[in-house]
């Protein structure tokens, strides 16, 4: 392999890497449009998820400005809470201050 061929291969590799990094914002925009996002926020989104055991999973789902805690798996699915607060983190902070007072 000559020096010229090596330089061409390295230049092609750099071009492909730059192309991949430049298409990431375009792919994110297409993903938001595909998921039905309006105004930068999707109507329904999964905030977080945690496996409790082999069959059960605890999920926080956001719909607009509200969040709901869902326990799935096992014999049935349970809707745990529909908060009036902005997030579950603020609900936990509020409950922590209530216990101290």
d(CA 54, CA 74): 9
What is the domain extent for residue 17? 1-37
Q: Is the pLDDT of residue 54 over 60?
A: yes
Residue ranges with strand state E in the chain: 44-51, 57-63, 66-72, 78-82
Lowest mean pLDDT among 10-19, 26-35, 56-65, 70-79: 26-35
State mean pLDDT over 4-13.
95
Q: Is the pLDDT of residue 100 over 60?
A: no
d(CA 76, CA 89): 26
Same domain, 32 and 5: yes
State mean pLDDT over 90-95.
64
Same domain, 30 and 59: no
How many of the other CB atoms lie within 10 Å of CB of 58?
16
Same domain, 97 and 62: yes
State mean pLDDT over 13-26.
91
- The set of residues, in sequence order, having a beta carbon less than 8 Å from that of 99 and lying 6+ positions away, is none
Same domain, 72 and 58: yes
Same domain, 53 and 101: yes
* 83: its two tokens: 């908060």
Split into its structural domains, the chain has a count of 2
């Amino acid at each position: 392999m000559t020096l010229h061929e090596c330089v061409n291969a390295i230049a092609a590799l750099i071009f492909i890497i730059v192309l991949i990094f430049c298409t990431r914002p375009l792919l994110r925009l297409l993903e938001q449009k595909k998921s039905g996002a309006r105004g930068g926020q999707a109507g329904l989104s999964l905030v977080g998820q945690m496996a409790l055991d082999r069959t059960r999973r605890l999920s926080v789902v956001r719909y607009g400005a509200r969040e709901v805690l869902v326990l799935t798996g096992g014999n049935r699915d349970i809707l745990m809470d529909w908060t009036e607060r902005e997030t579950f983190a603020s609900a936990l902070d509020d409950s922590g201050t209530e216990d101290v007072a």
